[in-house]
């Protein structure tokens, strides 16, 4: 399930990495002011700046024996083999694991990088030496190489970290907006970049984590979940890296207008009155105001404002706010509205004692297909979360009880299940079984008979997914 960069961009990615190796190799042989080094550096800068416009961020990473460019593994071809190999060896020596280029660079930045690179062998802590030297250059970030065995050992841990980082930085941003402080959008972009990386690597694990809800901090968790679901959906629809970053940022801010809803209304443990409900319905409009106040009117800001405004509108123009001029809803708005409704339905809220089970929520969304929700995008969504979304409680014909743990893309009705109660009714935690597994007579070992509501068994999903 590889995320595919545009073919043209993939070609540029190889060229950029190759060029990086060329100027470092040349600089090792000659000195830094040699004309071949300068020419190679200039070419690298041009290539990077051209691609930054399209992909927003460039992440070059070493994992094991491979190089990755914006989470795509670089395929070795004979003409580049020596250069790529050189790069991996040199970076491992210095312990550089990742180079992130956040914005356009200049030849001067690269000259500093080369100087540090050449001198780093004399340092006892080469990575720290390089990072310190680069600390004033904000467009380039270096990360230390990770222990790959540990990386494989606990991939879930990394997904978890990405998730909680997203929640806590959203909380931080939300509070800054509330107190009229400037927020750091670069940080948000970094978070989204790592979310995208995780979705490419382990979509199902990250989707599993979004089933975790926190009732008191609903808005923060909800915003992170909607952003993760939207980005995952965008990737399924074939969006490129830049579009995914934009979608991630825009969806993160969809409910920003909620800061203006009084606490007693937002957290009322009972049904809202007519007048309270009309206050809530203002949050799309307030969202637009807060977003526009946040920064200059660039296209991303405008898009975020539009999505904040449209995310409760339906494609048949029902929903809110009601407006006179009815055009087609923005693509991002249509995506965010599906992610938003799904996450809201399966979340426990102050006023709903029990959230809806994920499969029921999916069925409700499917009923709105075509008139309220975009049917094509919804199809991608169903394919992504599966017929039995992660976290659904199922009864098996083996008389075991289990939670959907991961989807099987080739057989959406036969997901992988974590058994939580054995056929004698004893509560257990695992194993994870595959419903595609067959018995000797070519029948299936286990099959889902029906789904149940977790409330009937008082099951806390977080216990199983954390």
* Shortest CB 77 distance to Fe ion, Å: 46
Q: How far apart are CA 255 and CA 238, in angstroms?
A: 25
State the Cα–Cα distance between residues 250 and 303, nearest whole angstrom.
Answer: 7
To Fe ion, the closest distance from the beta carbon of 192 in angstroms equals 17
User: Which C-beta is closer to Fe ion: that of 203 or that of 340?
Assistant: 340
| Cβ neighbours around 323 below 10 Å, total | 11
Q: Which is nearer to Fe ion, 27 or 315 (CB)?
A: 315
Angle at 158 between CA 189 and CA 237, to 5 degrees: 55
**CA–CA gap between residue 22 and residue 30 (Å, rounded):** 12
Within its chain, how far is the Cα of 464 from the centroid?
21
Question: How near is the Cβ of 207 to Fe ion at its closest, in Å?
Answer: 18
CB of 260 to Fe ion, least distance (A): 12
Would you tell me how many other CB atoms lie within 10 Å of the CB of residue 320?
16
> Of 201 and 340, which has the nearer Cβ to Fe ion?
340
Beta strands in 345-386 (DSSP E): none
- The Cα-based distances of 302 to 239, 310, 426 in angstroms read 19, 12, 54
Please report how close the Cβ of residue 310 comes to Fe ion at its closest, in angstroms.
10
Minimum distance between the CB of residue 218 and Fe ion, rounded to whole angstroms?
A: 10
Is the Cβ of residue 55 or residue 255 nearer to Fe ion in the bound state?
255
What is the smallest separation between the CB atom of 255 and Fe ion, expressed in angstroms?
4
Q: How do strand 448-452 and strand 140-144 relate by DSSP bridges? A: unpaired
Contact 9, 2 (CB under 8 A): no
Q: Is 424 exposed, middle or buried (0-12, 13-18, 19+ CB in 10 A)?
A: exposed
Shorter beta-carbon distance to Fe ion: residue 55 or 343: 343
> Taking the complex as a whole, how short is the minimal distance between the CB of residue 163 and Fe ion, in angstroms?
17
Specify the residue, 255 or 374, whose C-beta has the smaller distance to Fe ion: 255
Nearer to Fe ion, 32 or 280 (CB): 280
Measured from the CB atom, the residue of 210 and 421 that comes closer to Fe ion is 210
CA geometry: angle 106, 107, 108, nearest 5 deg: 90
Task: Please report, for residues 153, 392, 413, the alpha-carbon distance to residue 387 in angstroms, rounded to integers and kept in the order given.
Answer: 29, 10, 6
Q: Kindly state the smallest distance separating residue 75's Cβ from Fe ion, in Å.
A: 40
Cβ of residue 222: shortest distance to Fe ion, in angstroms? 6
Which is closer to Fe ion, CB of 255 or CB of 310? 255
Closer CB to Fe ion, residue 61 or residue 255?
255
Q: Give the pairing of strands 58-63 and 448-452.
A: unpaired
Q: How far apart are CA 400 and CA 395, in angstroms?
A: 6
Q: From CA 143, how far away is CA 96, in angstroms rounded?
A: 6
User: Helix, strand, or coil here: 42?
Assistant: helix
Instruction: List contacts with Fe ion (CB under 5 A).
Output: 255, 340
Residue 393 host element (H or E)? strand 393-396
Distance CA 257, CA 401 (A): 41
């Amino acid at each position: 399930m590889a995320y595919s960069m545009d073919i043209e961009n993939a070609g540029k990615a190889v060229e950029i990495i190759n060029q990086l190796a060329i100027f470092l190799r040349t600089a090792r042989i000659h000195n830094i002011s040699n004309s071949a080094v300068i020419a190679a550096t200039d070419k690298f800068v041009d290539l990077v700046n051209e691609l930054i416009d399209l992909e927003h961020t460039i992440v070059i990473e070493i994992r094991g024996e491979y190089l990755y460019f914006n989470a795509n593994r670089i395929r070795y071809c004979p003409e580049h083999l020596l250069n790529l190999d050189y790069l991996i060896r040199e970076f491992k020596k210095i312990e550089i694991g990742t180079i992130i280029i956040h914005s356009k660079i200049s030849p001067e930045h690269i000259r500093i990088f080369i100087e540090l690179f050449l001198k780093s062998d004399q340092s006892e802590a080469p990575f720290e030496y390089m990072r310190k030297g680069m600390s004033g250059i904000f467009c380039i970030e270096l990360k230390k190489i990770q222990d790959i065995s540990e990386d494989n050992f606990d991939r879930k841990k990394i997904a978890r970290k990405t998730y909680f980082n997203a929640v806590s930085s959203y909380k931080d941003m939300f509070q800054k907006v509330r107190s009229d402080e400037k927020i750091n959008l670069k940080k948000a972009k970094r978070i989204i970049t790592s979310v995208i990386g995780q979705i490419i690597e382990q979509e199902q694990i990250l989707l599993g984590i979004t089933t975790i809800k926190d009732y008191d901090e609903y808005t923060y968790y909800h915003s992170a979940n909607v952003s993760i679901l939207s980005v995952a959906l965008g990737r399924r629809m074939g969006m490129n890296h830049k579009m995914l970053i934009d979608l991630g940022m825009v969806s993160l801010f969809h409910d920003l207008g909620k800061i203006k809803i009084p606490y007693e209304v937002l957290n009322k443990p009972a049904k809202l009155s007519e007048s309270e409900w009309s206050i809530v319905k203002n949050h799309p409009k307030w969202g637009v105001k807060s977003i526009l106040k946040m920064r200059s009117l660039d296209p991303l800001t405008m898009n975020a404002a539009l999505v904040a405004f449209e995310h409760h509108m339906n494609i048949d123009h029902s929903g809110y706010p009601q407006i006179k001029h009815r055009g087609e809803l923005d693509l991002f708005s249509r995506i965010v509205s599906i992610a938003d409704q799904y996450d809201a339905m399966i979340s426990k809220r102050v006023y709903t004692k029990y959230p809806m089970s994920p499969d029921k929520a999916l069925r409700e969304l499917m009923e709105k297909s075509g008139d309220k929700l975009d049917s094509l995008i919804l199809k991608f969504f169903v394919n992504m979360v599966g017929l039995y979304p992660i976290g659904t409680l199922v009864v098996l014909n083996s008389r075991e009880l289990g939670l959907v743990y991961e989807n099987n893309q080739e057989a959406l009705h036969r997901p992988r299940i974590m058994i939580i109660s054995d056929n004698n009714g004893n509560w257990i935690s695992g194993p994870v079984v595959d419903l595609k597994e067959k018995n000797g007579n070519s029948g299936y070992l286990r099959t889902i008979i029906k789904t149940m509501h977790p409330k009937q068994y008082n099951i806390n999903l977080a216990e199983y997914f954390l």
